[in-house]
Amino acid sequence: MEPSLPEATAVAVRDGQIVEVGSLETLKPWLDAHPHVIDTRFENHILTPGFIDPHLHPSMAAVLLQMRFATATEWRLPWETISPVTTPEAFASRAKKVVEERDDTSDPVFVWGYHQLWHGKMNRTVLDEIAPDHPLVVWHRSFHEVIVNSAALKWMGLDPDGKSNNWQVNLDEGHFYEGGLRVALDKLMPYLMAPARYEEGLNRLRQVVHFGGHTTIGDMAAGLFNLGLEWDATTRLFETDATPFRVFFIPEGNALVSSEGGIDGAVKKIHALQEQNTHRLKFIDHVKLFTDGAFFSQLMQLGGPGYIDGHDGEWLAVPEKFEESARGFWNAGLKIHVHCCGDLGIELALEVLEKLQWERPRFRHGFTFEHFGVSTPEQCRRVADLGAFVSANVYYLYELSDIYSRQGLGYERASQIVRLKTLLRNNVSSTIHSDYTMAPALPLNSAWVAVNRINSVGDFMNENEAISVHEALEAITINAARVLGVEDEVGTIRSGKKADFTVLEQNPYQVDPMSLKDIPIWGTVFEGQPAPIDRQ
């Protein structure tokens, strides 16, 4: 990923840092001057910069990896491959089977992956038929919603016949969504984050991250459930030699504003959190905010012509509150990441960024648009004009473009989901992420989607938004490092950077682009230490 030295045959490493890159001949002055060992184990492999996912959710993944999957697409995990369920009948059958496997009816069952466009209408009545007596919690594919049966409401301590003060909670339907999800989380998290369960989930997440070839990830909303508990468990499990990657933590801004008594307290807390950093786990001067609802739920906010069926999206933060928070963190000098999925959500973030640049101009401000599902070409130009970055979830195109072209968006907008090439044509530094578990934590798979723009039914969706293999590799290495503000440490193979490499069995520049996702990964090298993937 270094244009000045794009290929090499040898790399010298000392104490986890790259000393020099080139060939054994060009490295000779170093070799003559210092004791060394020549390690040839990778002479028939390809070393790329270590893969980076700048937007992943370890705590959310640790919770969901405890559950049974029932998604519309296949999931390849280190320990199993899970077949898809694409009809209401298949979803109900899998959920019923999971319930029947549990003998203890007091122990709740969790199923993740429900999506209404494949699995039909879901509510408390439907779930009561699947599990009349057993607490059953169905978690939406977006993570932003849960639907529960009557037994689960009682287990949660909620009155099935009661009413909620939160307008995004419908107890009659057993439905908690967007802001209302917090009501459900308050009841569910003590169970899901019990130490033994949560630590088992984190151990699975560690396998997932390594399996994808990552050496760096970003936790883009640290404190999603409980900041102190998450940090303590992650430090205990991940700050060991068994973890061949590092994690940068970006806290969720509005949660800190609430807990710390306002913006000033939140900013102070973000700086204080950095004092507890360890070797692998670090808080940085970044913060996460939200505009609109989830892409998978079709609750992102769309401008005209809106959704085909006329329904409205949702705000995760009302526009005035978003602007207030963004201004406070901007003026404090923090780098702001904004979850925005629809073009109206993007528009809100653009308008606020433009105001902030007018009020208090900043260079290298690191303002990043996260997800960037539905956008306009004009918005891409404005992102460039304002000096911002984009971190996109290109997997939306793979899983959703076919069904969204018929239900929700129409073909034109569905075929242009995550318009990466338009961003690159406008010189916007852009990366791709998994938002795990919104997409598989497999960078080569995301790169394959970005290069080929093939969806889950095999349709080619808009060649004018396809990017090159080289651009895709930049997206999962140096551009991802830039979004996290650590491009001087990782993201390329050059003198002075961390000795982080992903070890591939084939050259991604030489295989058919349609085979990019199938390149076998031997493992990684993290700060000079080889870490093969355990394939048992």
CATH number at residue 168: 3.10.310.70
Domain of 179? 70-192
Q: Residue 431 and residue 1: Cα distance in Å, rounded? A: 14
Q: 0.85 exceeded by the pTM? A: yes
125 falls within a domain: yes
pLDDT score for 435: 96
354 falls within a domain: no
How would you label 392-408 residue by residue, b for 16+ Cβ within 10 Å and e otherwise?
A: bbbbbbbbbbbbbbeeb
pLDDT score for 535: 66
492 falls within a domain: no
97 falls within a domain: yes
111 falls within a domain: yes
Task: Say whether 436 sits in a helix, a strand or coil.
Answer: coil
Residue ranges of the chain with pLDDT lower than 50? none
160 falls within a domain: yes
Helices (H) and strands (E) in the chain, counts: 20, 23
pLDDT score for 45: 98
The answer for residues whose C-beta is within 8 angstroms of residue 269's C-beta and 6 or more apart is 251, 256, 259, 260
How many separate domains does the chain show?
A: 1
Structure tokens at 453: 């723009």
pLDDT score for 225: 87
Cβ–Cβ < 8 Å for 501, 521: no
520 falls within a domain: no
391 falls within a domain: no
Q: What average pLDDT does the chain have? A: 96
pLDDT score for 106: 83
For CA atoms 354, 356, 359, 362, the dihedral sign is negative
pLDDT score for 141: 93
Structure tokens at 528: 């000079």
The answer for residues whose C-beta is within 8 angstroms of residue 457's C-beta and 6 or more apart is 402
Cβ–Cβ < 8 Å for 114, 147: yes
